Structure 1
């Protein structure tokens, strides 16, 4: 079994495997606005059985959980996941 973890401000964020892959994808694309489709393709595409259907809320729900975990461990506003209305999300890294 592979173990992945993200330590932020000396705290293990205790991410699920999917949250880890989502965070890793967002970090790779930090400070870039990403559509839900781009995020889905970057994180869930390998799980998809060739079906192009994107469950309407899967990205939003995982972003929400990841946002909560970031907010629990951050001590200032140096990192945040922002919603870009009508398009997608942005991992803002100051």
Structure 2
């Protein structure tokens, strides 16, 4: 998943970048709102971390310009004034964190905002994660708007993983959820279905992560 950091303090920007990359995010840094705005015309970030006090155009002005793009925004600023927080939220920001901040808190806030956005995308039986779109009522999954042609069991596995994004499921849990407790097969069944799912996902197959010794989870990571 792509996170854009707009921060003119280079050490802070690099620290944020390092911590996000440790969590498998792809990160692009911009030191001014103007340069970021130009890039946003082409980039499709999943989240923006936006400083308020920037040279030239400030964070509030940039947020007002990009509001219609519906990109999640977390303001990061040294300002702790309640009026600034209210202004940021009024302009459509999803969260607000004040410097200095704990890196763990930043990561938790980023993940919390992304979870909320993903939950909002679960509308009318539709789950959207990056280029993947699952249409539950049609029993169909699209990748870049092209049908993957999944079998019923492949669909159920992917639905479970998408609905519980980043949650790890053991092979036994997947067997129980998808095939039921009275199924007499072994966990190799899961591995074969995961293999076929990855083949159908092609360049996107890396989103199904193997958690060694545990099982599988869905994580967009650096795929996009």
- Give me the TM-score of the superposition, normalised by structure 2: 0.35
2: CA distance, partners of 1:3 / 1:27 = 16
Contact 1:30/1:93 (8 A) holds in 2: no
C-alpha RMSD of matched pairs (Å): 2.2
Query: Quick one: which of 40, 59, 67 aligns to 2:190?
Result: 59
> SS state of the match for residue 6, structure 1?
strand
Tell me the alpha carbon deviations over residues 38-80 of structure 1, each in whole angstroms, 9 at most, x when there is no partner.
11111111xx6x35x44130000001100111125x4xx8x61
2:206 paired with 1:71? no
Following superposition, the deviation at residue 86 of structure 1 comes to 0.8
Q: In the alignment, which residue of structure 2 is the partner of 1:86?
A: 213
2:178 paired with 1:35? no
5+ residue gaps in structure 2?
A: 1-136
2: CA distance, partners of 1:55 / 1:40 = 8
Following superposition, the deviation at residue 8 of structure 1 comes to 1.5
Q: Which has the higher contact order (CA 8 A, sep 6+)?
A: 1
Q: Which has more radius of gyration?
A: 2
Following superposition, the deviation at residue 84 of structure 1 comes to 0.7
> SS state of the match for residue 7, structure 1?
strand
Q: In the alignment, which residue of structure 1 is the partner of 2:143?
A: 8
Following superposition, the deviation at residue 6 of structure 1 comes to 0.8
Tell me the alpha carbon deviations over residues 11-30 of structure 1, each in whole angstroms, 9 at most, x when there is no partner.
10010111111111111111
